[in-house]
Chain A
Amino acid sequence: MVEITDVVCSLCGCVCDDIVLEVENNEVVKVKRGACSVGKSKLLGHERIKSPMIRENGELKECSYDEAIKKAAEILYKSRRPLLYGWSSTVCEADSAGIELAEDIGGVVDNTATVCHGPSVLAIQDVGIPSCTLGEVKNRADLIIYWGANPAQAHANHMKRYSYVSKGYWTAEGKKGKKLVVVDVRKTMTSKMADVFIQVEQGKDYQVFSALRAILRGHEDVVPDKVGGVSKEQLLEVANMVKEAKFGITFFGMGVTHTGARHNNIVNAIQFTRAGHLYGKWSIMPMRGHFNVTGFNQVCTWQTGFPFSVDLSRGYAWYNPGETSSTDLLYREDCDSALIIASDPGAHFPGAALRHLAKIPVIQIDPFANPTTEFADVVIPAAISGIECEGGVYRMDNIPIRLRKILETDYYVPDAEIVERIHAEVRALREKEGE
């Protein structure tokens, strides 16, 4: 039995990196420390896709890696508008290979941000984002706001490691000495811990942010008695807390990115943060989901200039979420094939988008079977990033951390290599056609 320390969790955007594991016979037998319950279950492993498969007459039939990769290349090479989607639960090396492939075949490359924090990125493009690393929050924050986020359930280690409950340099007493405000449409596990809970009407976050901004800028006189279901009295209370804080942070989640004014909610949340800065130090951060959703956005930006939803069909990068985003392409039936990697649109995309996915040829690359497998035409199993292969990822606060390889695999191929091999086959097809 071997004890391995400093293991990096490849589950959510927290990317906890202090996990201690016990490994025996090339198997994780115990998670000794560091991981939350969901992370633990991923590290302990579950049912894998056993072999590459190609669908024939409606049935997935097992085949070799070479055959599946060749078939995938043929599909992509023929396509007039291929979509290459996913990229958030894999490492940056795979993302990089995927962007190069998309560029070469004139595809649209997009990651899961398109259905989670894409609106946050759009907001950043309107106003920027004052933010910080999670360690800053841990060491300094005296006022923490979770808005439309429920970390007690979705990011189980977040409060303990980085925010409300954590202890740091100026916060040695943990939650004593800190204030927690939770804003949501309903009571949650997180809101139960809050000093102040603000229940906002569904879809009315935008107005509440505007009202808070007007108050922070000294114009409480124009604000009506009730905004978005919140009393002016409560708005004034929160505004006062903001004014008194030395270091405040707003963490926001999907509860505010996808309702009402959507990305403009986040623009307004950032504007609220900017107004907070008139009094103390204020930051804001999205609670990002997949462990490397941030990393894809980073790689895609330094390589193409744009973070996601990049259409490379005309040779240059055209970025326009709403037009070039996966769900929009699928709703509109715009794309004629799809490569789905390290994600599960089958479980997360709306029905109308799935109907088109079911119609077009789909290539899936993933360690695990999921609802997407049910309509995939080519299925290629991958090594598990952070367990069977290493690679770079970016935590939700943009800190780069390298996943470690813990177990050996003599069969499964890493995502990056699969994508590179597909690309090599595409090049071979092009050369053949050129002859």
Chain B
Amino acid sequence: MADGELLIRNGVVYDPINGVKGEQKDICIRDGKIVESVTNPKVIDAEGRVVMPGGVDIHSHIAGGKVNAGRIMRPEDGRKGLEPKTSVCRVQSGYSIPNTFATGYRYAKMGYTFVMEAAMPPLAARHTHEELVDIPILDNAAMPLIDNNWMTLEYIKSGDTDLLAAYVAWIIKATKGYGVKIVNPGGTEAWAWGKNCNLHDSVPYFDVTPAEIVKGLAEATEKYEMPHSVHVHGNMLGHPGNFEMTTDTYDLVKGIKPYRDRPAMHATHTQFHSYGGTSWGDFESQAKHIANYVNDSDHVSIDIGSIILGDTTTMTADGPMEYSLYQITGRKWTNLDVELETGSGITPFLYSGKSPVNTIQWAIGQELALLTKDPWKVALTTDHPNAGPFIGYPIIISMLMSKKRRDESAEDMHKVIFDRADLPSIDREYDLNEIAIITRGMTAKTLGLAEHGKGHLGVGADADIAIYDMSPEERDAGKIQKAFLNTKYTIKAGEIVVKDGEVVATPPGRTIFVTPECDDKLMDEMLVTLKDKFDKYYSVTFNNYPVQDAYLPNPYEIKAPWRS
């Protein structure tokens, strides 16, 4: 946190959480926070430039075992982003899987100051945290995977939602995690035997269905005052014809009353779940079906997982999905199944505008953003690096803001886009206020971080600010893209970290974690079962499992009491 005062003068401010839609305003900063007024500040003249809160990424894979396994597997990706050390910055490498330092610098250059690591295998949580510590500048958090854990499966089977809630509390605390992440519920356990699950299939040996897992975990999550809902990557990601299963999954939380004003489910990288057709041959967009559902309901929010054309590295705890992708491409494939908990797969992938399937996928992500009427229900993501690297966000922003650019791009792509996708017929263009919503306002609110100072510029908020070198009137898509790639200034906790597109300071970020507070008696009852698992089946001991405090040098705790 920087000492002293800063005044950002005359910027055109977009602060959607506080209802500020492009007003010329001054922003005052003291000791890392937004304040009412300052007395003797350093002044930044932002006249005519766009000012927004620091970006808040709701879903990205930036740290941990599978990200690093991707880096190890792909020195050819590493060499794509080589940059020498400077007096301020450490060495940088990588394009789709940048090293930790580059991850911090490149996000900060785009004006982002918080990123959620979207999948932390509990047994390897220490690894995720070690990498988060080495990502400069960004505040961060990580969501442990809880849905294929044997403890979860057994409590779902027995119907003990309270005991499940106790386990959820324990695992989030043990991993210093943020919330409940679900990835191919049941399917990843089935993958340990080389199999997979549809929503209503029985998970081999456990006799529960993915649908029951999602519902049970959503109920267990809402037992607490959790900042964020269950964060769901559903079954059959990336399979043609999965769109109905997607909305069937959304239906599961319809009756669940969420703590606070957010939906009971966040459905992530929805692009991969909006597929029509019966095979890759008759593959088509069903974004409209998904967007209509979201428009008509208040129990689900989405992020788009939009495609960036080019080469990337796909990685997910959805092991069977990565295996089928590798079977299509024949390229490298890494798989890392984690005992009693989860798995993961990694394979490189090239999204080509010449491929009919990739073209439709490319359209779907943008369709989801454009067809979802209320931007407070949708977030901008690329499921980095799955649909493309985060460094491509400015491309998507420029697409959403410019019908002209979308039309020009469509001309260069496979003509199937005109028959089996809706994008060419959509006229809507996002304005800067809406961009600010899908990149900071909505994400901070949905994650429950707004009251902890993220994603807005109200008095008391963290002084995390992006100043873009563009006029609010700018309509040139190329210039918009350029402005969103490299800020004029990025300010983190009151300190200037990026100036004129160059990183000038690299303070460490904080790790935000949630402590769900569970009744001792319930916890003790759960621990009897859990300790038996450690004695018999885990390969590490119960006492060596939890993440030690040493792994969070800059912690920020959010307590989540049991709901009365």
Contacts and interface: CB of A to CB of B under 8 A. Distances in A.
Q: In their complex, do chains A and B touch, with some C-beta pair under 8 Å?
A: yes
B250 to A, nearest CB: 31
Nearest to B348: A128
Contact of A312 (B91, B92, B337): B91
Contacts of B69: 398
Contacts of B323: 277
Interface stretch (A66-74, A194-202, A295-303, A332-340): A295-303
Interface stretch (B76-84, B156-164, B255-263, B423-431): B76-84
B194 A127 contact: no
A306 interface: yes
Contacts of B127: 298, 394, 398, 400
A246 B99 contact: no
Interface stretch (B215-223, B293-301, B538-546): B538-546
B99 A132 contact: no
A409 interface: no
Interface centre among A277, A281, A302 (most CB of B within 10 A): A302
Interface string B118-136: 0000011011001100100
A132 B335 contact: yes
Given A126-B332, A305-B71, A316-B93, A283 B337 contact: yes
A298 to B, nearest CB: 6
A135 B339 contact: yes
B72 A301 contact: yes
B550 A139 contact: no
A344 interface: no
A124 B347 CA distance: 12
Interface in A312-352: 312, 314-319
Interface in A265-321: 274, 277, 280-281, 283, 297-299, 301-307, 312, 314-319
Given A168-B536, A301-B71, A400-B130, A128 B347 contact: yes
Contacts of B548: 402
A125 B536 contact: no
B85 A131 contact: no
Nearest to A298: B68
B530 to A, nearest CB: 15
A131 B540 contact: no
A216 interface: no
A392 B126 contact: yes
Contacts of A247: 192-193
Contacts of A281: 192-194
Interface residues on A, range: 35 or more
B268 to A, nearest CB: 23
A302 B126 CA distance: 14
A128 B337 contact: no
Interface string B69-110: 101111100110111110000111110001111000000000
A5 interface: yes
A8 interface: yes
Contacts of A129: 73, 334-335
B336 interface: yes
B324 to A, nearest CB: 12
Given A131-B335, A316-B91, A305 B78 contact: yes
B538 to A, nearest CB: 6
Interface in B506-564: 536-541, 543-544, 548, 550-551
Contacts of A127: 332-333
B72 A121 contact: yes
A6 B339 contact: no
B392 interface: no
Contacts of A169: 536-537
A29 interface: no
Nearest to A168: B537
A132 B337 contact: yes
A18 B535 CA distance: 10
B337 A133 contact: yes
Contact of A319 (B75, B123, B337, B340): B75
Interface in A99-130: 100, 103-104, 121, 124-130
B175 to A, nearest CB: 12
A304 B98 CA distance: 9
A317 B78 contact: yes
A17 interface: yes
8 contacts: A17-B540, A18-B541, A133-B338, A298-B127, A303-B134, A319-B75, A399-B540, A401-B126
Q: Which 8 A-B pairs have the closest CB atoms?
A: A305-B93, A135-B339, A315-B84, A305-B78, A128-B332, A135-B539, A132-B337, A400-B126
Given A135-B540, A304-B91, 13 more contacts: A5-B543, A124-B73, A138-B537, A161-B539, A247-B193, A297-B72, A301-B99, A302-B67, A306-B93, A317-B93, A398-B124, A398-B336, A399-B124
